[in-house]
Amino acid sequence: MAASAPYADLTEEQLRKELARLQAEYESFRVRDLSLNMARGKPSAAQLALSEPLLTIVKSNEDCFAADGTDCRNYGVLEGIPEARALMASLLDDEPENTIVFGNSSLTVMYDALARCLDFGCCGSIPWAYLESVKWLCPVPGYDRHFAVTETFGIKMIPVPLVDAVAADGTPLVGPDMDLVERLVAEDAAIKGIWCVPKYANPTGITYSDAVVRRLAAMECAAPDFRIFWDNAYCVHHLHDDPAEQDQLLDIAVACREAGTEDRYLKFASTSKITFPGAGISAFAASPANVADALAHVKNQMIGNDKLTQLRHVRFLKDASGVAAHMREHAAILRPKFDLVLDALQGGLGELAIASWTDPRGGYFISFEGMEGTARRIVSLAADAGVTMTGAGATWPYGDDPTDSNIRIAPTMPSLDELAIAMEVFVCCVKIASLEKLLEG
Amino acid sequence: MAASAPYADLTEEQLRKELARLQAEYESFRVRDLSLNMARGKPSAAQLALSEPLLTIVKSNEDCFAADGTDCRNYGVLEGIPEARALMASLLDDEPENTIVFGNSSLTVMYDALARCLDFGCCGSIPWAYLESVKWLCPVPGYDRHFAVTETFGIKMIPVPLVDAVAADGTPLVGPDMDLVERLVAEDAAIKGIWCVPKYANPTGITYSDAVVRRLAAMECAAPDFRIFWDNAYCVHHLHDDPAEQDQLLDIAVACREAGTEDRYLKFASTSKITFPGAGISAFAASPANVADALAHVKNQMIGNDKLTQLRHVRFLKDASGVAAHMREHAAILRPKFDLVLDALQGGLGELAIASWTDPRGGYFISFEGMEGTARRIVSLAADAGVTMTGAGATWPYGDDPTDSNIRIAPTMPSLDELAIAMEVFVCCVKIASLEKLLEG
């Protein structure tokens, strides 16, 4: 019978017995030749099917025109057609005139924005490529593809813990550890920016509290061209329909304008997890100075992005309320998957005091925190049993989780049946790795 | 009555009389409030209509899968789906495994390729951004958007004349002046590359002869990481159906492999002027080393390009022979436009000995060479009469045509009726500017 007391309370003999039992269970999974994947935040086929009308919503030659008469098949309109700018502005809590619509990937928009800082500087500052050292703050655990962008440009990444705290006066402080962030950016002019996934963060699911957003906007930065890369990837990705169960995020643009730092932020979003990840549209919003600075170089990089895809999205999603209605359909598919994962974790590990995990109200991930020194072992065990997890360490810059404890769980892609088995395997692997660690100590 | 003898043979009085007559004709155009555009190489509505089936060729959820089972709606497949790589490889005379499919713009692919050279170097060379000076060869007249890319990165552009000559042994030498190119690249290690539109060039319509391609491949370069940016934008854009009336281009990859310089070239192409300029696909082909080098960084910039658009293109165009059949439909629309422009130039200017122009067998442009010092005046006169031409100077780096004589004519976008009027205006403006120049001398 499975142990249901904290492992720490068990004798060595009990631990060994439990391990032997779990090893047998693990073998029973291995012989099943499973092939399950909880690695990437990919929408499932059922979610993709929700956007089928997008495929044929622009049907004929006569259909291909934007409201202002622009032929969306032909060249031009660098900023995006006006109705697409309005749609994407609604995702970014911004104005259409501050919003530029790009191609199918906000990751590309972020990479390109950073490349421009390096090649050309920001609004007249010296190109960062000319500087001896450029550093970047990386809230952890965070998004591996963000870290890959900064790493490829040789930018030194500094991890900053995400915290969920309360200030002395009772103000919630959810987000990067702002005491640390404020100290670092005030001291070191080589620190040029910070990655933020401010809402339903990847992988923790947290949403920055207003006080954190305001402190990011108001903090004194030694680098005058410090930039917050505000990746609002999960801006409308609630798991619940009731607004009381949805997180609200203070707009960084509002906070920066209030603080007199209106050029500090660059906002990014996309429809990747709204319609089709591979065939959606993305957008960038920023202050007028940043938008003008971007366009001055972007105009040499492209003539215009895919306006037919923009038009399809406008016709299909229409506006903010159309997006919200569509996202409720996604949520209906995703909620049971998140519930299943949380139930499996609670049922399998809840009494053992060897792990913790997040219970997000939106986004695509559950962040799992195991015992120190077990994450790589858990992921490796799971892989050998046919369950692919995001690589251990991926949530840290350079893939280096110093406590080897964090694992990102992505429950969206598998079916409920697959997820149930995958979570059985995962829980088994967590227990084995934890027991091994306890016995070795 | 209009003069039909060379202007140089006319007396000053005859020139003045002719000018007065033309000024009256010009006024008659001005009062018509025309709004005609021969500025950009944009396909016309009739051409865009040819690709209408592309809009709905992927219709349903079940339709969205590549031959290997890839769901084209979802994330992934950085290099492009295999069938799209094969299609684009056929445009680039290359192998699918050397071909990467990108988004809707080959201009973006070229900008990004150059940015990678600057940020990361080429196949292990020092990043060009670290060098004191980077220079680039620019065959002239050439493509303004190429020049804008090199200019935005601060690369010093060196114009090189395009020639149409014959070597002592009778070998045709069509393309950049290779004596000059060979001397420059051998001498100066700061010269890192050359822009080439090798087939039906923008704007001259010439196609590089085999000897020129071989010399580009074989020449000794002081810079070991010299790169030929081979923009084969008009690879299948013949104006005639008879193969005997179509230009043939020697593949730069073949020439480089023969010369032992297989990493020297980067090839680019797109479907912009095959299907929809704003919503097509583009591609890059290069040696295995260059492809690997590109992907090592591109993988941090994007997860994958729009695979639905790739799938649509494969289903619509199918293969090289499908492309050729489709291009014959374009040619049927374009031929009468090119003929009209050439007839108007010949009819209006043929006897006057004040201008020359190209008679291309493909591509999108006619290159017009007026008297020295007249191009800006012609374009300005035309603009005041409601006919927009490509800006004078645009075909030269920094917009600086030293003889102020070249104008790019883009006949594709207007209807035949519009084109007829626009050419009447243009011919009138050429005559006026030439007469003004002769009278001032």
Percent of chain A with pLDDT over 90: 98
CATH of A64-318, one of 3.40.50.1370, 3.40.50.720, 3.30.565.10, 3.40.640.10: 3.40.640.10
**Span A237-256, mean pLDDT?**
97
Where are the domains positioned within chain A? 7-47+325-440, 64-318
Nearest to A301 among B76, B108, B120 (CB): B108
* List of chain A residues whose C-beta atoms are within 8 Å of the C-beta of residue B113: none
Strand partners, B139: B160
A110: closest CA of chain B, how far (Å)? 8
Here the tokens at position A430 are 């967590």
* List of chain A residues whose C-beta atoms are within 8 Å of the C-beta of residue B103: 103-104, 305-306
What's the mean pLDDT when you consider all of chain B?
A: 97
Residue of A152, A154, A175 lying closest to A165 (CA atoms): A175
Closest residue, chain A, to B75 (C-alpha): A278
Strand-pair category, B99-102 with A156-166? unpaired
Q: How confident is the model at residue B4 (pLDDT cuts 50, 70, 90)?
A: confident
Nearest to B105 among A43, A120, A303 (CB): A303
**Span B358-369, mean pLDDT?**
97
The predicted pLDDT at position A40 comes to 87
pLDDT digits (tens, 9 = 90+) for B182-214: 999 999 999 999 999 999 999 999 999 999 999
The predicted pLDDT at position B358 comes to 97
Q: How confident is the model at residue B144 (pLDDT cuts 50, 70, 90)?
A: very high
B202: closest CA of chain A, how far (Å)? 17
**Span B431-439, mean pLDDT?**
97
A424: closest CA of chain B, how far (Å)? 27
Q: Are the C-beta atoms of residues B162 and B204 closer than 8 Å to each other?
A: yes
What is the radius of gyration, based on Cα positions, of chain A? 23
Q: How confident is the model at residue B396 (pLDDT cuts 50, 70, 90)?
A: very high
Nearest to A278 among B72, B112, B279 (CB): B72
pLDDT tops 70 at residue A2: no
The predicted pLDDT at position B65 comes to 98
Binary contact (A152, B300; C-beta < 8 A): yes
Which of A102, A108, A110, A144 should be substituted to probe chain B, the one whose Cβ sees the most B Cβ atoms within 10 Å? A108
**Span A9-36, mean pLDDT?**
96
Continuous H helices in B61-177: 82-91, 106-120, 144-152
Closest residue, chain B, to A46 (C-alpha): B61
The predicted pLDDT at position A260 comes to 98
Binary contact (A297, B152; C-beta < 8 A): yes
* List of chain B residues whose C-beta atoms are within 8 Å of the C-beta of residue A305: 103-104, 278
Here the tokens at position A17 are 């017995």
Here the tokens at position A384 are 């050998």
Give the C-alpha separation, B112 to B118, whole Å: 10
Binary contact (A42, B297; C-beta < 8 A): no
Which of A62, A74, A107, A112 should be substituted to probe chain B, the one whose Cβ sees the most B Cβ atoms within 10 Å? A74
A52: closest CA of chain B, how far (Å)? 6
Here the tokens at position A294 are 């971007």
Give the C-alpha separation, A419 to A308, whole Å: 36
Burial of A167 from C-beta contacts in 10 A (0-12 / 13-18 / 19+)? exposed
CA–CA distances in Å: residue B20 to residues A272, B175, B360 = 63, 41, 34
Binary contact (B305, A104; C-beta < 8 A): yes
pLDDT digits (tens, 9 = 90+) for A357-392: 999 999 999 999 999 999 999 999 999 999 999 999
The predicted pLDDT at position B5 comes to 87
Give the C-alpha separation, A324 to A319, whole Å: 9
What superfamily would CATH give domain B7-47+325-440? Aspartate Aminotransferase, domain 1 (3.90.1150.10)
Burial of A244 from C-beta contacts in 10 A (0-12 / 13-18 / 19+)? exposed
Burial of A11 from C-beta contacts in 10 A (0-12 / 13-18 / 19+)? exposed
DSSP reduced 3-state for B295: helix
The predicted pLDDT at position A385 comes to 97
**Span A3-8, mean pLDDT?**
84
B59: closest CA of chain A, how far (Å)? 6
Nearest to B58 among A42, A55, A59 (CB): A55
The predicted pLDDT at position B414 comes to 95
Give A381's contacts (C-beta < 8 A, 6+ positions apart). Answer: A26, A429, A432, A433
A305: closest CA of chain B, how far (Å)? 7
Chains A–B, number of C-beta pairs less than 8 Å apart: 175
The predicted pLDDT at position B357 comes to 98
pLDDT digits (tens, 9 = 90+) for B74-120: 999 999 999 999 999 999 999 999 999 999 999 999 999 999 999 99
Give the C-alpha separation, B426 to B37, whole Å: 11
Which of B306, B307, B313 should be substituted to probe chain A, the one whose Cβ sees the most A Cβ atoms within 10 Å? B306
Which of A114, A157, A271, A276 should be substituted to probe chain B, the one whose Cβ sees the most B Cβ atoms within 10 Å? A276
The predicted pLDDT at position A5 comes to 87
Q: Are the C-beta atoms of residues A223 and A270 closer than 8 Å to each other?
A: no
Instruction: Please check whether the domain covering B68-318 is classified as CATH 3.40.640.10.
Output: yes
Please give the biggest Cα pair distance in chain A. Answer: 78
The predicted pLDDT at position B63 comes to 96
pLDDT digits (tens, 9 = 90+) for A83-114: 999 999 999 999 999 999 999 999 999 999 99
pLDDT digits (tens, 9 = 90+) for A63-75: 999 999 999 999 9
Binary contact (B73, A48; C-beta < 8 A): yes
Q: Are the C-beta atoms of residues A61 and B49 closer than 8 Å to each other?
A: yes
Q: How confident is the model at residue A410 (pLDDT cuts 50, 70, 90)?
A: very high
Nearest to A278 among B40, B63, B304 (CB): B304
Q: Are the C-beta atoms of residues B375 and B393 closer than 8 Å to each other?
A: yes
DSSP reduced 3-state for B165: strand
Which of A302, A364, A398, A412 should be substituted to probe chain B, the one whose Cβ sees the most B Cβ atoms within 10 Å? A302
Q: Are the C-beta atoms of residues A151 and A157 closer than 8 Å to each other?
A: yes
* List of chain B residues whose C-beta atoms are within 8 Å of the C-beta of residue A272: 75
Closest residue, chain A, to B113 (C-alpha): A301
Here the tokens at position B132 are 């004191």
Closest residue, chain A, to B65 (C-alpha): A45
Q: Are the C-beta atoms of residues B117 and B286 closer than 8 Å to each other?
A: no
Give the C-alpha separation, B3 to B21, whole Å: 10
The predicted pLDDT at position B40 comes to 87
The predicted pLDDT at position A4 comes to 75
Here the tokens at position A259 are 């603080």
Binary contact (B45, A71; C-beta < 8 A): yes
Nearest to B71 among A48, A151, A309 (CB): A48
Please state whether the predicted TM-score (pTM) of the whole model is above 0.90.
yes
Closest residue, chain B, to A273 (C-alpha): B74
Q: ipTM score of the complex?
A: 0.96
pLDDT tops 70 at residue B262: yes
pLDDT digits (tens, 9 = 90+) for A131-163: 999 999 999 999 999 999 999 999 999 999 999
The predicted pLDDT at position A222 comes to 98
pLDDT tops 60 at residue A1: no
* List of chain B residues whose C-beta atoms are within 8 Å of the C-beta of residue A59: 55-56
The predicted pLDDT at position A293 comes to 98
Give the count of alpha carbons within 13 A of B53, CB side only: 10
B315: closest CA of chain A, how far (Å)? 14
Which of A306, A398, A413 should be substituted to probe chain B, the one whose Cβ sees the most B Cβ atoms within 10 Å? A306
